[in-house]
Amino acid sequence: MDLKLERKLALVTGSTKGIGKGIAKALLDEGARVIINGRSRKAVDEVVEELSQYGEVYGASGDLATMSGAKEVITSVDEIGDLDVLINNMGIYIATPFEEIDDDEWMKMINTNVLSAIRMCRHYLPKMLKRNSGRIQIIASECGVKPLSAFVHYSVSKTALLGLGRSLAEMTKGSNVTVNTILPGPTWTEGTAIYQNQRGKNEGKTIDEIIQEYFTIYDPSSLIQRFATVEEVANTCVYYCSDLAAATNGAPIRVEGGIIRSI
Ligand code: NAD
């Protein structure tokens, strides 16, 4: 299938590792030009160099949890060209008991997970509407519709992103621009591996036991009973960046292995 992404310009926020880096690689494999983002210029430069073997890659470092960082990224991106694809991927995941999350930590979560996407969409959606062409994706989580008590502020941030995605999609009516929200479930990234391996060490369990326990205790409704791969999530995102996916707009797209038990 030709996804017709050749030479399209895509920004993937938070793409120095994990799902974002996977999406960047998958877009490059389809011939798109990709802009890597992360807070640290060094990390961005390293990934730009690593991925350059697959295609045309640029860097735009900046902390999207702040307005000044967002401006820095926007300046770098606008020097490269008009964005065809914006993937709002970056997000943080903190487990804190609800009663211990103070206002500062709430604001950090909202700034990092929600306002980062708002800042980017506020700049790029009007431009895409003017050109009558573009794809925006917001990476939420299955936690946005199946909130976890151990991750209240994370879950709330992801529910907000689902609302944001649908609200912005309403603005695209009659145009060739789409805004969709992606809901990954548990995904095996470098970060997941470090976290789960550490748990195994602390509890004297093998990684297989830890994974089995995860799907017995935390996500028993998972139909695949395993973590998704970064590539599985990335390939889904890339398809919805395509012109071929023009009829999917304002949709929550699930890549969560069937955890969410609803029709
Ligand atoms: P990760 O921690 O592996 O990578 C996050 C990336 O974002 C890194 O490149 C990091 O440098 C960057 N980043 C973090 N804060 C930033 C900031 N303020 N400004 C710019 N860049 C910043 O994350 P991941 O596990 O790949 O998750 C990516 C997205 O997918 C997140 O939105 C996350 O909530 C969502 N998600 C992940 C999982 C999972 O199991 N991994 C499940 C559901 C949803």
- Read off the pLDDT of residues 39-85 as tens digits, 9 standing for 90 and up: 999 999 999 999 999 999 999 999 999 999 999 999 999 999 999 99
Check pocket membership of 118 for ligand 1, CB cut-off 6 A: no
- Tell me, yes or no, whether 102 lies in a domain: yes
Q: Which residues, in sequence order, are bridge partners of residue 77?
A: none
Residues 137 and 37 grouped into a single domain: yes
pLDDT at 262 (0 to 100): 93
- CA 56 from chain centre, in angstroms, equals 21
> What's the whole-number average pLDDT of the chain?
97
Sheet containing 9-12: order of strands: 57-59, 33-36, 9-12, 85-88, 134-139, 177-184, 252-255
* Ramachandran assignment for 174, one of left (phi > 0), alpha (psi -120 to 50 degrees), beta (any other): left
With respect to residue 260, please indicate whether it lies within any of the assigned structural domains.
Answer: no
- Does residue 22 line the site of ligand 1, with CB under 6 A? no
CB 54 within 8 A of CB 21: no
Residues spanned by the domain of 31: 9-186+229-255
Residues 117, 218 within the same domain: no
pLDDT of amino acid 152: 97
* Rounded CA separation 180/157 (Å): 16
User: What is the pLDDT averaged over residues 80-105?
Assistant: 96
Domain contains 250: yes
The structure tokens listed for 172 are 């695209």
Distance CA 223, CA 211 (A): 14
Q: Are residues 105 and 216 in the same domain?
A: no
Number of structural domains found in the chain = 2
Asked whether residue 138 falls in the same domain as residue 206, the answer is no
Q: Which residues are catalytic?
A: 154
* Cβ 228 under 6 angstroms from ligand 1: no
pLDDT of res. 83: 98
Do both 171 and 196 map to the same domain? no
